[in-house]
Amino acid sequence: MFAECGCGAAGPGRAVPGGLNHLSLNPASNNKSLQLGSAAGPQVVESPTENGSDPGKKRKRANVPADGGRNLNLDSVLMGLPMSDPTAWATAMNNLGMAPMGMTGQPLLPDFDPALGMMTGIPPINPMMPGLGIVPPPIPPDMPAAKEIIHCKSCTLFPPNPHLPPPATRERPPGCKTVFVGGLPENATEQIIMEVFEQCGEVIAIRKSKKNFCHIRFAEEFMVDKALYLSGYRIRLGSSTDKKDTGRLHVDFAQARDDLYEWECKQRMLAREERHRRRLQEERFRPPSPPPVVHYSDHECSIVAEKLKDDTKFLEAIQTLLTWIERGEVNRRTANNFYSMIQSANSHVRRLVNEKATHEKEMEEAKEKFKLALSGILVQFEQIVAVYHSASKQKAWDHFTKAQRKNISVWCKQAEEIRNIHNDELMGIRREEEMEMSDEEIEDPSEMKETEESALVSQVEALKEENDSLRWQLDAYRNEVELLKQEQGKASRDDDTTKEQQMKLLQQALQGMQKHLLKVQDEYKKREAELEKVREEKLKMETLLENLKEQQSIADEEEKERDAVDCQGNESGTSRVCACSQEKECPVEKTLSNSPVKSEREVLLVGIISTFLHVHPFGASIEYICSYLQRLDSKICTAEVEVLMTRLQNTFRQELSGVGASLEKRWKFCGFDGLKMT
């Protein structure tokens, strides 16, 4: 992260001039030879070693001028290292501890030994410096990143041991721009702190405490990350080794109210921008509002009338017409115009009905095609299942291996499941069609019996098909059971337990199939009995129709005879007719005198009361029955109804219900029980 500030890849004990200042790494603009030091040359001084080296030994380091190495430029002439000199290039690479490589990637010294080390007294050459024009090899991920010595005007920062773990930090607060810096020397001033940390970015404020720590607030958040890079460095003021002039920096995140306030303001601004962007996007994708309907005028009326005659513009015109009518534009002057427009709108009804009929026809054709395709698929599935069943018979089954048999049985089960699903779907389609047909035929009572008969026949056929499929499945299970019984004697003891489980499962499946087969057979018998009943009822209806026709023909003949007798005008004929009529009326009167019902009015009352009580199976009081009858005829009285019902003991029965004060007499219909008794 601090490579932007000029930090190279040198080791922890090497001095790099310039500190965190940025260095130009563009090789295209640097064709001059490398210039190091000043005119007086680098000064070599004695300094103690850092980071755990032997304190008894001393090493050489280049003394940097007081300006922190910022005067390092290409104008100072001390030693030249042209790019075309391979020997100088190899020396520079040797100082870096790398195998000398040419610009084309070829080794300059094939017998190079990396264990030779650095040349004594010569500071290593950084390949990132201007003029070399090369990039160091990438650092392996498992190798710790090496920090460098940073030189400032008033102090020097020494890096920590690279093998130590990174310093611990607290959780970063949102929008953090302030850092806590601890471990400062006692003699450190705000100017020295500013000099160290201004290399990380613009410093807004420094709040220093008396106890060797301070808080530094930067202008941007990324500058805090650069400041955290200095955590763990040991600081030394000048060249003093006094305890008050040294310390170990500890840089960590700090929580400041100003940072949090600015971060919240920024978040609110981003939220406002997001809401504004969403609003613009919603407005962009919002459907446009419908155009306003024009006001009524004779010219607009003629335009709308022409549009109403056009099928493509009918929807727009009918909306305009509806708006005009709702606005109240219809008056005596415009009534004829509106009537003509309504009439032209009515002319589209037949077109819409025809369109609906064509769509329904297309839907029916699509249904038929789907049903035919599904039936074809079902036939193919039946054939596939038949192939599996024939392959599982003993003649072919013995020649397959165990794995092949297992695959065949699995395939057979899958095919049967899919076949059953398709069969259920086809049966559902047929049932829906039958339901639709039955709903349509309820309106025609004369054809109801035929539709019920056809529905029963189709159900019987479907049950037959299901019965056949169940029989086939039962045969297949029986074959599998026989094969398992034959293989049980041949198999080893290890397979006995698995085969017993398979036998139990198959036996359970067989029992379930047998129960299902018995249920299907019972249903089949019930449907056959219902079909026979329907046929008998149909025969009875036909016989009744024939009798009615015969009676009607006889009545017609009698009327013709009566007309002929009236034309003759014979008194004897009239007397005979009267005698015949008296003879015919006599048995009727006898039957009426013998029966408890004495008139046609009472017959109607008995029928209405029977229907009413049949709807009320728990009975009804005489007042409730009379209130219902008085709606039909207000002259009916309660005593008349009660006398009539007491006479018909086989049709109506009076019962007492309730206890104590809630005791109530209720009449119930018992005509069906009386019919059985008679």
pLDDT at 483: 78
**Higher per-residue confidence, 576 vs 670:** 670
Q: How far is CA 14 from the centre of its chain?
A: 62
Task: Return phi, psi of residue 426, to 5°.
Answer: -65, -40
Residues 6+ apart with CB under 8 A from 186: 212, 244, 245, 247
Contact 645, 609 (CB under 8 A): yes
pLDDT digits 0-9 by tens, 83-124: 444 555 555 455 445 555 554 445 544 554 444 444 444 444
The residues facing 156 across adjacent strands are: 151, 236
Confidence tier at 600 by pLDDT (50, 70, 90): confident
594 neighbors 653 (Cβ within 8 angstroms): no
What counts of helices (H) and strands (E) characterise the chain? 17, 12
| Distance separating alpha carbons of residues 123 and 454, to the nearest angstrom | 110
585: Cα separation from own chain's centroid: 83
**Range of lowest pLDDT (116-120, 539-543, 674-678):** 116-120
At 102 the pLDDT is 52
Q: What is the mean pLDDT of residues 430-452?
A: 65
Distance CA 548, CA 567 (A): 29
* Best CA proximity match to 250, nearest among 147, 151, 169: 169
pLDDT at 678 over 70: no
> In what helix (H) or strand (E) does residue 405 lie, and over which residues does it extend?
helix 402-441
SS percent in the chain: helix, strand, coil, step 5: 55, 10, 35
User: Which tokens go with 419?
Assistant: 């076949």
Helix segments in 27-162, DSSP class H: 86-95
Helix axes 496-568, 571-594, angle to 10 degrees: 140
Query: What is the C-alpha separation between 461 and 448, in angstroms, rounded?
Result: 20
Rounded (10°) angle between helices 600-615 and 622-632 = 120
pLDDT-derived band at 37, boundaries 50, 70, 90: very low
Structure confidence by residue, pLDDT tens digits, 610-643: 888 888 888 888 888 998 888 888 888 888 888 8
Report the greatest alpha carbon distance in the chain. Answer: 175
SS3 504: helix
| Per-residue model confidence (pLDDT) at position 100 | 53
pLDDT greater at residue 660 or residue 441 = 660
Higher pLDDT, 498 or 348: 348
393, 399 Cβ separation under 8 angstroms:
no
Average pLDDT over residues 18-24: 40
Q: List phi, psi (to 5°) of 182.
A: -115, 170
Residues forming a β-bridge with 205: 217
**Helix 448-490 vs helix 496-568: angle between axes, to the nearest 10 degrees?**
160
d(CA 392, CA 405): 8
Q: Amino acid letter at 499?
A: K
pLDDT digits (tens, 9 = 90+) for 187-240: 899 999 999 999 999 999 999 988 889 999 999 999 999 999 999 999 999 888
Q: How far apart are CA 428 and CA 432, in angstroms?
A: 6
- Sign of CA pseudo-dihedral 354, 356, 358, 364: negative
**Would you mind telling me the total number of residues written for the chain in this entry?**
678
E strand residue ranges, 613-663: 652-657
273 versus 573: the higher-pLDDT residue is 273
* 350-404: pLDDT as tens digits: 888 899 999 999 998 998 888 888 888 888 888 898 898 888 888 888 888 888 8
pLDDT at 444: 54
Q: Is the pLDDT of residue 674 over 50?
A: yes
125: closest CA among 237, 19, 13, 34? 34
Cα separation, 449 vs 503, in Å, equals: 49
pLDDT of residue 472: 79
Q: Over the stretch 554-584, which tens digit does the pLDDT of each residue have?
A: 888 888 877 776 666 555 544 454 444 454 4
- State percent of the chain over pLDDT 70: 69
DSSP element (H, E) containing 205 = strand 203-208
Confidence of residue 442 (pLDDT cuts 50, 70, 90): low
State the chain's mean pLDDT as an integer: 75
- Best-predicted range by mean pLDDT (123-132, 498-507, 526-535): 526-535
| pLDDT band (50, 70, 90) for residue 475 | confident
pLDDT tens figures, 143-197: 456 788 888 988 999 999 888 888 888 999 999 999 999 999 988 999 999 999 9
Distance (Å, whole) CA 100 – CA 90: 5
- φ, ψ of residue 42 in degrees (nearest 5): -70, 135
pLDDT at 50: 39
Helices marked H in 328-401: 335-346, 348-391, 394-397
Q: Please give the pLDDT value at position 225.
A: 93
Residue of higher predicted confidence among 376 and 476 = 376
